Amino acid sequence: MDDKVRAGIRKLRGDYPLYANKVLRIKPKKGAVTPFRLNKAQSYLHECIQDQIRRIGMVRIVVLKGPQQGISTYTEGRFYWKTSLNKGLQAFILTHEAEATANLFTMTKRYHDLNDVTVGGISLKPTTGND
């Protein structure tokens, strides 16, 4: 892997909003599948998370979320980002209802199925036991 490819992957690894826009695809309530661009609530949460990482080196956040702010979308995308670019890392999300779990799984499956991004010929789509 050459330096330019390493730099491209390092840039995506260090910038979740950039990764979300370039790699992740979402399905809004209305409309077609589109690149994931953070909204105001998601951007605020992201800044809080990044501030916590800078200050204490880890994230411990509880979000009392309102409806339709995209916090689940943000969280699911962030976990996909971390696990897709860091070998051996796993994530687990638990919900209070089977339907909510199914919705999150569908979102993750969409992120994965539509991830066709490459950097210097190297796929950013992680392999899974189902591939």
Q: What is the mean pLDDT of the chain?
A: 89
pLDDT at 5 over 60: yes
Query: What is the model's pLDDT at position 28?
Result: 85
> Greater confidence, 94 or 1?
94
Instruction: Reduce the secondary structure of the chain to three states and give it as a string.
Output: CCHHHHHHHHHHHCCHHHHHHHHCEECCCCCCCEECCCCHHHHHHHHHHHHHHHHHCCCCCCCCCCCCCCHHHHHHHHHHHHHHHCCCCCCCCCCCCHHHHHHHHHHHHHHHHCCCCEECCEECCCCCCCC
Q: How confident is the model at residue 113 (pLDDT cuts 50, 70, 90)?
A: very high
Distances (CA, A) of 65 to 56, 89, 108: 24, 26, 20
Global confidence as pTM: 0.88
